[in-house]
Amino acid sequence: MSSSTSVRTDDPPAVVLTGITKRFPGVVANSDVHLTVRRGEVHALCGENGAGKSTLMKILYGMQPPDEGTIEVNGEQVRFRTPSDAIKAGIGMVHQHFMLADNLTVQENVVLGAEALHGIGQKARKRIIELSGRTGLNVDPGVLVEQLGVADRQRVEILKVLYRGAKVIILDEPTAVLVPQEVNELFDTVRGMQAQGYTFLFISHKLDEVRAIADSVTVIRRGTTVGSADPKTVSSRQLAEMMVGSELPSPETRESTVTDTVVLDVKGLKLLTPDGSRPILDDIDLVVRSGEVVGIAGVEGNGQTELVETIMGMRKAGSGTITLQGNDLTKLGTLARREAGIGYIPEDRHRHGLLLTQPLWYNRILGYQTRKPASKGIWLDTDGAKKDTERIVTEFDVRTPGIDVPAAALSGGNQQKLVVGRELSGDPVLLIASHPTRGVDVGAQALIWDEIKRARAAGLAVLLISADLDELIGLSDTIKVMLRGRLVADADPSTVTPEDLGSAMTGAGSTSAAVQETAVVEEGEN
């Protein structure tokens, strides 16, 4: 798959990191990291979430100085104080979260901050057109970025670093936002640019992708490099075990526990944009039964967030009904819905799940302020809350020195375990889990999967929203595909592949018998 012809071994390596150490509060830092990237290769840096990949790349990109160790670029030792030093040395970075201004054109976005290079006029435009061919971007530089899709936005990001003269390009989790088809296009772009002499540092924890694109792989675990591998001979399983240092967890659920008891019944749910012009949710019908995990697949921004927030009562539905175990929730507020037995793992635990500066036990109360063990009548029961927090910390393996530390002091995985533990307390009948393992380490991921599976076996109904298609397919009993605010297709998790799901998610139509279209989306509608 990968072309190793353009990798030159006689030249000095493009980048050499030697003995990089970075001490960093609370999370895994880098300790004695060694990394050699040869010129013209695609070098993958693998490691689970929180292993220290991003820190290492921030050091290489001059965003943070290392405490110890040296960086060499093209055989010369360098010291980066700011990203602009790194850019001058020919290193560019494409961040996982795009840093583009939607209301500016492609050209304006590219030129922004680099006006000194080719001005902002025709010269810049010519240069951009010249470079966009290399990234596979086929749009006029005068187009607004808000009109571009995710894949094109990513190309604009790559274009930005090329424009600044980068020869070594760091791609930080570039496929996280792409559906499988777009991933393939990205890889074509990368291979094309590699042939033109560019060097890539490809950061990922998705092993199949790493094996498909990389010429060499370096694995990082708990902040240090644990070894390199040849992607052509190593298996995904071997790589994963290097990353984790032990056996790999799997989301797979064994036998079905689905019952006939309907827990959540959503009928004809509609939600309009605040100005009332356009539906965000359009006529959603959804049933979740006891012991069933219903997964919602969809490209982000197609209404999944709004669906969850409407079911939780955080948004007011325009029409439709929401019934939980036969009780009509439609007119109730969030608290009453929670009391009726809904547990909620929000997609953004910092914004919606936690009070970051408050201690863990105080966070235990959030959402449960009217119920035991957190309160008695109008009074808080701080002793009860503390005791129950101790239980969650033990049962859910939250790694913390105590329950009095502020939530912000924990790592993402431990924060999430606390949230999951809290939401599974108080005997919920329905759990709404939005991206329950996003941004957490493999250990926490395995634990969260196990807990969801255990609760499902005990009769919990689960509505799962996830961008991780493997997680979605592995955990769900039923998958529904969401597109432009509608549930457009059903998929059978026992037979569907991520690629099938991917094409259904983009509206490309059903390509497999495992995906059954349930609604037709007319293109002329918008």
Contact between 366 and another protein by CB under 8 A: the answer reads yes
Cβ distance to another protein smaller for residue 13 or 52: 52
Q: Does 357 bind another protein (CB under 8 A)?
A: yes
Establish if 56 lies at the interface with another protein (CB under 8 A).
no
Number of residues that bind another protein (CB under 8 A): 54
Instruction: For residue 268, state whether it binds another protein (rule: CB under 8 A).
Output: no
Where does 230-277 show beta strands of DSSP type E? 262-272
The answer to whether 299 touches 150, Cβ cutoff 8 Å, is: yes
By the rule CB under 8 A, 382 interacts with another protein? yes
372 binds another protein (CB under 8 A): no
- Cα 257 from Cα 291, distance rounded (Å): 5
Could you say which of 150, 226, 356, 521 contacts another protein (CB under 8 A)?
356
- Residue count of the chain, please give it: 526
**478 sits near another protein (criterion: CB under 8 A):** no
**Residues 24 and 223 sit within 8 Å (Cβ to Cβ):** no
Which pair of tokens denotes residue 4?
Answer: 């190793």
User: Exposed e or buried b for every residue in 136-168, given b needs 16+ CB within 10 A?
Assistant: bbeeebeeebeebeebbbbbbbbbbbbbbebbb
26 binds another protein, rule: CB under 8 A: yes
Q: Which position among 291, 353, 443, 474 is part of the footprint of another protein (CB under 8 A)? A: 353
Q: Does 245 bind another protein (CB under 8 A)?
A: no
Interaction pattern, residues 202-221, with another protein; x per rule: CB under 8 A: --------------------
Per the CB < 8 A criterion, the answer to whether 94 and 171 are in contact is: yes
User: In terms of CB distance, is 345 or 487 closer to another protein?
Assistant: 345
Six-digit token pair at 430?
A: 């329905």
Q: Which is nearer to another protein, 29 or 288 (CB)?
A: 29
Q: How far apart, in whole angstroms, are the C-alpha atoms of residue 343 and residue 125?
A: 52
| Residue 409 C-beta: closest distance to another protein, Å | 4
Instruction: Dump the DSSP string for 146-202.
Output: GGS-HHHHHHHHHHHHHHTT-SEEEEESTTTTS-HHHHHHHHHHHHHHHHTT-EEEE
Q: Are 303 and 269 in contact (CB under 8 A)?
A: no
Q: Which of 262, 335, 387, 490 binds another protein (CB under 8 A)?
A: 335
- Contact segment (CB under 8 A) with another protein among 187-195, 204-212, 222-230, 476-484 equals 222-230
- Applying CB under 8 A, which of residues 62, 298, 303, 346 lies at the interface with another protein? 346
Which of 303, 367, 428, 493 touches another protein (CB under 8 A)? 367
Q: How far is the CB of 442 from another protein (least distance, A)?
A: 15
Task: Compute how many other C-beta atoms are within 10 angstroms of the C-beta atom of residue 387.
Answer: 14
**Minimum CB–partner distance for residue 400 and another protein (Å):** 7
- Comparing CB distances to another protein, the nearer of 63 and 104 is 63
Residue number with CB closer to another protein (24 or 146): 24
Instruction: Write down the least CB distance from residue 380 to another protein, Å.
Output: 6
| Position among 34, 134, 191, 352 found at the interface with another protein (CB under 8 A) | 352
Output 353 or 421, the one with its CB closest to another protein: 353
7, 15, 17, 22: which one binds another protein (CB under 8 A): 22
- Angle, helices 412-424/442-457, rounded to nearest 10 degrees: 10
- Does 29 sit near another protein (CB under 8 A)? yes
Judged by CB under 8 A, which of 99, 129, 195, 355 binds another protein? 355
Strand partners, 264: 288, 324
Pick from 4, 18, 27, 390 the residue near another protein by CB under 8 A: 27
* Torsion angle (degrees, nearest 10) of CA 56, 62, 68, 74: 90
Q: CA-CA distance, 479 to 338, in Å (whole number)?
A: 24
Residue 23 engages another protein in binding (rule: CB under 8 A): yes
Q: What are the structure tokens assigned to 493, written together?
A: 């998790």
Handedness of CA 454, 458, 463, 469 (dihedral sign): positive
Residue 198: partners with Cβ closer than 8 Å, 6 or more residues away: 40, 166, 167, 168, 169
Determine the 3-state secondary structure of 127 from DSSP. Answer: helix
Looking at residues 87 to 146 of the shown chain, list those that interact with another protein (rule: CB under 8 A).
none
Residues 393-452 that bind another protein (CB under 8 A): 399-401, 405-406, 408-411
Sign of the torsion angle spanned by Cα atoms 339, 476, 435, 465:
negative
Where along the sequence are the contacts to another protein (CB under 8 A)? 21-31, 67, 222-224, 312, 314, 333-339, 344, 346, 351-358, 362, 365-367, 369-370, 375, 378-380, 382, 399-401, 405-406, 408-411
